[in-house]
Homo-oligomer: A and B are copies of this chain.
Amino acid sequence: MVRAGLTTERLVRAGAELADEVGFDNVTPSELARRFGVKVASLYSHVKNAHDLRTRIVLLALEELADRAAAALAGRSGRDALIAFADVHRDYARAHPGRFAAAQLRLDAETAAASAGVRHAELMRAILRGYDLTGPDQTHAVRLLGSFFRGFVALEADGGFDHSPPAAPESWTRLLDVLDSLLRDWPRS
C-alpha cells in the first residue's frame, strides 16, 4: 500500500485548486479523496469535517489575497495604489474564481479576527493615507471601496455585465478614476 502523503496543508491546497475548477460549493471531502486516490475516511485524520476543510480554504484565499495586495501596494500611493489594489482583487478573482468566492464567505467572529481579513482592512487604510481623509470619513471611505470592489468583482464574475456595453473592464478603469477623484475631493458633511 503506497501512501498518498496526505497532510492538512496538501488537502487545503488541493481543495483550493478544486474550488477554482468546479466552484467552491462543489468542494467536498468525497471529491477531494477521489483526486488523491484515497478513501474518504482517510481525510478525517487531517481535517475535522467538511466545514473545517472549507474554512481552511477560505483562510488560505484571504492570506493569498492579502499577500498579493501588500506586494502590489509597496512603493505606490494615491491613484496608483488604488488601482493596483483593485486590480489585484480583480486579477485574483479571474485567476482563482473558486478561491475568490471562498474569500467572500462569512466566518464566525473568532476565526475572522484571526484571519488575514484584518490585514485587508489595514491595507485599505494605507491606501487612504494617500488622500486627505481622517476619522470617521476614512472608515466610511474604506467601506465604500470595500463594498465596491467586492460587489463589482462578484457581479463581473457572475456575468452580470456581459449583456450590455460597455464591457466590464472599461467600467472598471473608469470607475476607479471616478473613485480616485471622489477621494481627492471628498465632500465634507
Is A159 located at the chain interface by the 8 A CB criterion?
Answer: yes
Is A178 located at the chain interface by the 8 A CB criterion?
Answer: yes
Residues of A172-186 whose CB lies within 8 A of B: 174-175, 177-178, 181-182, 186
**A175 and B106 in contact (CB under 8 A), knowing A150-B155, A181-B187?**
no
The interface on chain A, measured as residues whose beta carbon lies within 8 A of the other chain's beta carbons, has a size of 39
Docked Cα-Cα span, A19 to B147, in Å, equals 24
Chain B residues with Cβ below 8 Å from A181 are: 187
CB–CB B147/A147 < 8 A = yes
Interface class of chain A by DSSP: helix
Is A161 located at the chain interface by the 8 A CB criterion?
Answer: yes
Is A140 located at the chain interface by the 8 A CB criterion?
Answer: yes
CB–CB A147/B140 < 8 A = no
Is A48 located at the chain interface by the 8 A CB criterion?
Answer: no
Is A3 located at the chain interface by the 8 A CB criterion?
Answer: no
Select A175's contact among B143, B165, B170, B171, beta carbons within 8 Å. B143
Instruction: Kindly name the residue among A147, A155, A159 whose own CB sees the greatest number of chain B CB atoms within 10 A.
Output: A147
Is A139 located at the chain interface by the 8 A CB criterion?
Answer: yes
